[in-house]
Amino acid sequence: MKLYEQVADAIAARIDQSYYQVGEKLPSIRAISQAHGVSISTAQEAYRLLEEQGRAEVRPKSGFYVLAQSKSPQQLPDLSRPAQRPMEVSQWEDVLELLCANTNREMIQLGRAIPELGAATLKPLSRIMADLNRQDPLATLNYEHLRGSDNLRLQIARLMVDAGCVLHPDDIVTTTGCQEAISTSLRAVTEPGDIVAVDSPSFYGSMQAVKAQGLKALEIPTHPETGISLEALELALEQWPIKAIQITPTCNNPLGYTMPEANKKRLLAMTKRYDLPIIEDDIYGDLAYQAPRPPALKSFDTEGRVLYCSSFSKTLAPGLRVGWCAPGRYLNQVIHMKYVVTASTATLPQMAIAEFIAQGGYERHVRKMRAQYQQSRDVMIGWIEKYFPAGTKISYPHGGFLLWVELPSELDTSELNEYLIPENICIAPGVLFSASGKYQNCMRLNFTDPPNAKNEAAVERVGELAAQLITEQKATLNGTKRV
Amino acid sequence: MKLYEQVADAIAARIDQSYYQVGEKLPSIRAISQAHGVSISTAQEAYRLLEEQGRAEVRPKSGFYVLAQSKSPQQLPDLSRPAQRPMEVSQWEDVLELLCANTNREMIQLGRAIPELGAATLKPLSRIMADLNRQDPLATLNYEHLRGSDNLRLQIARLMVDAGCVLHPDDIVTTTGCQEAISTSLRAVTEPGDIVAVDSPSFYGSMQAVKAQGLKALEIPTHPETGISLEALELALEQWPIKAIQITPTCNNPLGYTMPEANKKRLLAMTKRYDLPIIEDDIYGDLAYQAPRPPALKSFDTEGRVLYCSSFSKTLAPGLRVGWCAPGRYLNQVIHMKYVVTASTATLPQMAIAEFIAQGGYERHVRKMRAQYQQSRDVMIGWIEKYFPAGTKISYPHGGFLLWVELPSELDTSELNEYLIPENICIAPGVLFSASGKYQNCMRLNFTDPPNAKNEAAVERVGELAAQLITEQKATLNGTKRV
Ligand SMILES: Cc1ncc(COP(=O)(O)O)c(C=O)c1O
Ligand SMILES: Cc1ncc(COP(=O)(O)O)c(C=O)c1O
């Protein structure tokens, strides 16, 4: 073993022992050279090797950082290949079915995107709510400003600095969850009949917003590690009169990728050429495992063409229904739509979240959850590799608590769900994430819960049933062929 | 004085002393005859006189009831005469200005429709919220069902029996305030470009929902005591391809009237002939001074064509943002729109309101507020008669806490507001309530607060400034004529 390999191994071991954590800055080359008693060039070689191995990355003018666990042996899903023309979004009945199935309290909800709500770091939020209610009932019971609580907008502006965004509180409108931010943004920048380009697979809630607004979705091929294909998007922009782009570029739902910075910049340059607005859904952005979190698309936007949408539904709790929108140059239209749709956002949760952030509670909670979800991801991937049929491909999330699983093409995951639900297990079938009924053999699973035997058994059961359905389907197909 | 006049006077005196209360059933004719030692026919004559005087009303198969205070000497506004063709709704900038002006805490908000929030009968609601938060954080923090809390929908179905509606909880969807109920209902039954018939003047929030959906509003002449003119509506239905009707038939905002039952029935029959949906906004219905409250339009609907919209924003507190929709045959469309717009309604306030109703808190609070608002109405009307210029006409609300005031045609109430706001007084200018810029000389005032010297002084100041502006305007007009 060469000297630089020994040094690289030593650093890798420390990463494995979590001595250096994901996203953390590694010692400088000079420091490594001193610590290991090797030359500067050997230290440089060691880092080059770690980069090659996907253990570290260099950040210009800054140094080397620990990368999220290098690709595990699992095979990633392929680049998606959705229909190459604008489609009306269907699948509402399927979405409704999923939403209803998941309301059963006994259900093991592998299909929903709900964060962990039992964490001790979340407790102070409820206390703050009770206190505010007692201290100032007149304020908590009254309508909040149309734009949202002043305090909360100030705190949000501060949080968004982490995503590289420098905003004034008046650039921000609070909303009833991210869903309202997305649907009002869509309505602000499109007319019924327009075409919207979307990443694919894509969160079913925003797809349904596209449907409800009478729009057509043009699904753009999307890579499970780098996101929307800019080549495919450029081609689509040349061919179709696209009016807006709607994507989730950071810690994507369902695929889990974060678009590389360079791609984010190229995307913005492209929309500038075509003079298009982008609706950026960043709801999982603060749950990126890497620290500091990756910059939002919005952070590169100097022209106000990004309508940034987010909420506290994944970082804190969805039942609060508090989100926000930073709509850039479309601020006035979004405020109008927001007024028309819900008049104002609930008062007490806004006041409480503002106070929670100010006290440092948000930062503390999110830091804890990020680490927890990252660990759970690895356990969950392990289970799937163990229990799912051969040929299964699994995404490798950079943040959040959602996994995308692609099974052999014989499987229909909607059918699978119908067998699972009576057993009180529920997954999110792939078709929900497409306008055009693609991804029948895919599913989204969450790894919200700290790993436990009940969930492992559920994943095992999903894999078992999937294997069985695939075998049956193959037999039928062979049978048909023989006839 | 005739004998029957004496008896009538005696009963009237007892009404004045609140021995018999508004909405209460009066003694039977037989009982009066016995109590006063007069013949049955004299007792009958006495009631006939009370009816004539507007003190009592007969309800078929039931008996005589105390009517809300007979018309006071004030003159009512005229039947409205809006434009007789479909119009695009404008006025958004004015609405925004009003909403922003009203966020100043020092402002005497005569222009907003906020209920009293300091009442002791409302206190238990905050306590219930704090308790629920502590007892079941996992439930309160999680998404609530798309349709809304089961408990709350059950309680709402029970409440709605008072409005004459027999509904199953599954006929109901909870919403983020009445605004979401209205806007999702509108989207469920119309396409952009359609024409919607509305009462006029009409609440600016629903007018803006019409605007945002790309609809045209056809404003129907409306009577300040009986509501939308059915003759004018019928004419409009013959002339225009109207797709839906949107009205607030009970305790109207801004006029305060309740459509007579007979008119509600005729309206439904008419929409049946034209096969139209009606969006009924009943947000003030439970604040009718008369008990039991008047039946909702929905109560006469056997075909599911009424989309009933309401919320707890006026009866309890608007900051909770909890409302509901009973969309009849349009249930599926409304559920879809609701999902797309906000995904689900905030959890904790739904649970808390359900518990508050179950404990009898709603009934208790609303009963108290009804009586308080009715008293404040009379005081407020007194102030306006005292302080406003000659020729002022005032509505006579049957419920709620809003008054409509029509001033001499020389006055522009938007201009008036510009003078008032720097003095920390704000009214709602009439133009906000019209698609076509009518009602420039009108304003809406609220009488939410228990009468107090500060508010009296504010009303006096509004009257004074109005008189001054009218005089100046007259002088200018005369001047112009002379030139
Ligand atoms: C990508 C994405 N966007 C938006 C939403 C909706 O968020 P909210 O509950 O804040 O409306 C979700 C929730 O699942 C989501 O996953
Ligand atoms: C007639 C009417 N409908 C609807 C609303 C909106 O109610 P909410 O605050 O519950 O959305 C109001 C509020 O002012 C109103 O007066």
Q: What is the domain range of residue B287?
A: 122-362
The share of chain A scoring above pLDDT 70, in percent, equals 98
Residues B198-218, mean pLDDT to the nearest whole number: 96
Q: Which of residues 40-99 of B touch A (CB under 8 A)?
A: 92, 95-96, 99
pLDDT at A72 over 80: no
- List, for residues B257-292, the tens digit of each pLDDT value: 999 999 999 999 999 999 999 999 999 999 999 888
- Judgement on whether residues A134 and A226 belong to the same structural domain of the protein: yes
Closest listed residue to residue A101, CA positions, set A383, A427, A483, A369: A427
Pairs from A14-21 (Cβ < 8 Å, separation ≥ 24) = A15/A55, A15/A66, A20/A66, A21/A66, A21/A291
Residues A428-446, mean pLDDT to the nearest whole number: 94
Tell me which residue in A134, A145, A212 faces B336 most closely, judged by beta carbons: A212
- Judgement on whether residues B348 and B380 belong to the same structural domain of the protein: no
pLDDT at B71 over 60: no
Q: Do A100 and B134 touch (CB under 8 A)?
A: no
**Minimal-distance CA residue of chain B relative to A90:** B336
| Whole-number Å distance between alpha carbons of B379 and B390 | 18
The share of chain A scoring above pLDDT 90, in percent, equals 79
- What is the number of the ligand closest to the CA of A446? 1
Return all residues near A200 (Cβ < 8 A) that are at least 6 apart. Answer: A80, A82, A219, A220, A221, A222, A433, A434, A435, A438
Strand partners, A88: A216
| Whole-number Å distance between alpha carbons of B246 and B249 | 9
Residues B377-394, mean pLDDT to the nearest whole number: 94
| pLDDT (0 to 100) of residue A13 | 84
Closest listed residue to residue B282, CA positions, set B243, B319, B253: B253
Q: What residues in B contact A341, CB-CB < 8 Å?
A: 176, 179-180, 183, 212, 341-342
| Residue B160 located in a structural domain | yes
Q: Letter for the amino acid at B85?
A: R
The answer to whether the Cα torsion of A238, A244, A249, A252 is positive or negative is: negative
Quote the ligand 1 centre to A282 CA distance (angstroms).
9
Mean pLDDT for chain A overall: 93
- Judgement on whether residues A284 and A375 belong to the same structural domain of the protein: no
pLDDT at B114 over 90: yes
A140–chain B Cβ distance below 8 A for any pair: yes
Structure tokens belonging to residue A264: 């984010």
| Residue B75 located in a structural domain | no
Residues B415-429, mean pLDDT to the nearest whole number: 95
Find where tokens 């006290």 sit. A359
| Whole-number Å distance between alpha carbons of A426 and A417 | 6
Find where tokens 């001033």 sit. B407
Return all residues near B166 (Cβ < 8 A) that are at least 6 apart. Answer: none
Quote the ligand 1 centre to A114 CA distance (angstroms).
9
- Judgement on whether residues B401 and B312 belong to the same structural domain of the protein: no
pLDDT at A482 over 60: no
A192–chain B Cβ distance below 8 A for any pair: yes
| pLDDT (0 to 100) of residue B70 | 46
- Judgement on whether residues A140 and A107 belong to the same structural domain of the protein: no
Which atom of ligand 2 has the smallest separation from the CA of B112? 14
Structure tokens belonging to residue A271: 């929309």
More reliable by pLDDT, A64 or A361:
A361
Burial of residue A214 (number of CB atoms within 10 Å: 0-12, 13-18, 19+): middle
Q: Which of residues 311-340 of B touch A (CB under 8 A)?
A: 313, 316-321, 335-337, 339-340
Which range among A84-98, B204-218, B252-266 shows the weakest confidence by mean pLDDT? A84-98
Burial of residue B57 (number of CB atoms within 10 Å: 0-12, 13-18, 19+): middle
Tell me which residue in A130, A138, A176 faces B130 most closely, judged by beta carbons: A130
pLDDT at B73 over 80: no
Return all residues near A75 (Cβ < 8 A) that are at least 6 apart. Answer: A393, A394
- List, for residues B312-347, the tens digit of each pLDDT value: 999 999 999 999 999 999 999 999 999 999 999 999
Quote the ligand 1 centre to B171 CA distance (angstroms).
26
The answer to whether the Cα torsion of B346, B349, B353, B359 is positive or negative is: positive
Q: Do B342 and A349 touch (CB under 8 A)?
A: no
Q: Do B340 and A211 touch (CB under 8 A)?
A: yes
B360–chain A Cβ distance below 8 A for any pair: no
DSSP string, B52-101: HTTSEEEETTTEEEEPSS---SPPPPPPP---SS-B----HHHHHHHHHH
Return all residues near A27 (Cβ < 8 A) that are at least 6 apart. Answer: A35
CATH of residue A459:
3.90.1150.10
State whether residue A150 is helix, strand or coil. Answer: helix
pLDDT at A477 over 50: yes
CB B263 within 8 Å of CB B453: no
Which range among A20-34, A266-280, B398-412 shows the weakest confidence by mean pLDDT? A20-34
B347–chain A Cβ distance below 8 A for any pair: yes
Q: What residues in B contact A99, CB-CB < 8 Å?
A: 145-146, 339
| Residue B82 near ligand 2, beta carbon < 6 Å | no
Tell me which residue in A122, A144, A180 faces B342 most closely, judged by beta carbons: A180
Question: What are the C-alpha distances in Å from A386 to residues A456, A460, A464, B220?
Answer: 10, 8, 11, 68
Residue A70's pLDDT band, with cuts at 50, 70 and 90, is very low
A270–chain B Cβ distance below 8 A for any pair: no
Find where tokens 């907003």 sit. B112
| Whole-number Å distance between alpha carbons of B107 and B100 | 11
Quote the ligand 2 centre to B400 CA distance (angstroms).
12
| Residue A340 near ligand 2, beta carbon < 6 Å | no
Helices (H) and strands (E) in chain A, counts: 16, 18
pLDDT at B306 over 50: yes
Q: How far is CA A141 from the centre of its chain?
A: 33
| Whole-number Å distance between alpha carbons of A439 and A307 | 28
- Judgement on whether residues A108 and A256 belong to the same structural domain of the protein: no
CATH of residue B8:
1.10.10.10
A193–chain B Cβ distance below 8 A for any pair: no
- List, for residues B401-414, the tens digit of each pLDDT value: 999 999 999 999 99
- Judgement on whether residues B105 and B30 belong to the same structural domain of the protein: no
- List, for residues B185-196, the tens digit of each pLDDT value: 999 999 999 999
- Judgement on whether residues B110 and B130 belong to the same structural domain of the protein: no
- List, for residues B443-458, the tens digit of each pLDDT value: 999 999 999 999 999 9
Q: Do A179 and B341 touch (CB under 8 A)?
A: yes
Judging by DSSP bridges, how do beta strands A278-281 and A242-247 pair with one another? Answer: parallel
| pLDDT (0 to 100) of residue B62 | 81
Closest listed residue to residue A470, CA positions, set A404, A426, A415: A415
Find where tokens 């602000």 sit. A188
- Judgement on whether residues B103 and B216 belong to the same structural domain of the protein: no
Mean pLDDT for chain B overall: 93
| Residue B72 located in a structural domain | no
pLDDT at A71 over 60: no
Structure tokens belonging to residue A126: 């409820």
| Residue A312 located in a structural domain | yes
- Which pTM does this prediction carry? 0.88
CATH of residue B178:
3.40.640.10
| pLDDT (0 to 100) of residue A79 | 87
| Whole-number Å distance between alpha carbons of B41 and B46 | 9
- Judgement on whether residues A469 and A352 belong to the same structural domain of the protein: no
**Minimal-distance CA residue of chain B relative to A317:** B141
| Whole-number Å distance between alpha carbons of A172 and A167 | 8
Strand partners, A56: A66
Question: How many interface pairs between A and B have CB atoms less than 8 angstroms apart?
Answer: 200
pLDDT at A345 over 70: yes
| Whole-number Å distance between alpha carbons of B141 and A126 | 9
pLDDT at A34 over 80: yes
Structure tokens belonging to residue B185: 């209902």
CA atoms within 13 A on the CB side of A55: 19
Q: What residues in A contact B92, CB-CB < 8 Å?
A: 336
Helix axis angle for A331-342 and B177-189, nearest 10°, is 100
- Judgement on whether residues B334 and B441 belong to the same structural domain of the protein: no
* Smallest Cα distance from A280 to chain B, Å: 17
| Residue A71 located in a structural domain | no
| Residue A435 located in a structural domain | yes
Q: Do A340 and B95 touch (CB under 8 A)?
A: no
Residue A212's pLDDT band, with cuts at 50, 70 and 90, is very high
Q: Do B346 and A143 touch (CB under 8 A)?
A: no
CB B285 within 8 Å of CB B248: no
Which atom of ligand 2 has the smallest separation from the CA of B312? 10
Alpha helices in A257-330 (DSSP H): 261-273
- Judgement on whether residues A106 and A148 belong to the same structural domain of the protein: no
CB B264 within 8 Å of CB B295: yes
| Residue A55 located in a structural domain | yes
Q: Do B321 and A342 touch (CB under 8 A)?
A: yes
Find where tokens 């006096």 sit. B460
Provide the domain count of chain B: 3
| pLDDT (0 to 100) of residue A480 | 67
| pLDDT (0 to 100) of residue A481 | 59
Quote the ligand 1 centre to A299 CA distance (angstroms).
21
| pLDDT (0 to 100) of residue A53 | 79
Quote the ligand 1 centre to B136 CA distance (angstroms).
23
The answer to whether the Cα torsion of A220, A221, A224, A230 is positive or negative is: negative
Which range among A21-25, A142-146, B92-96, B427-431 shows the weakest confidence by mean pLDDT? A21-25
**Minimal-distance CA residue of chain B relative to A96:** B336
| Residue B78 located in a structural domain | no
Quote the ligand 1 centre to B463 CA distance (angstroms).
50
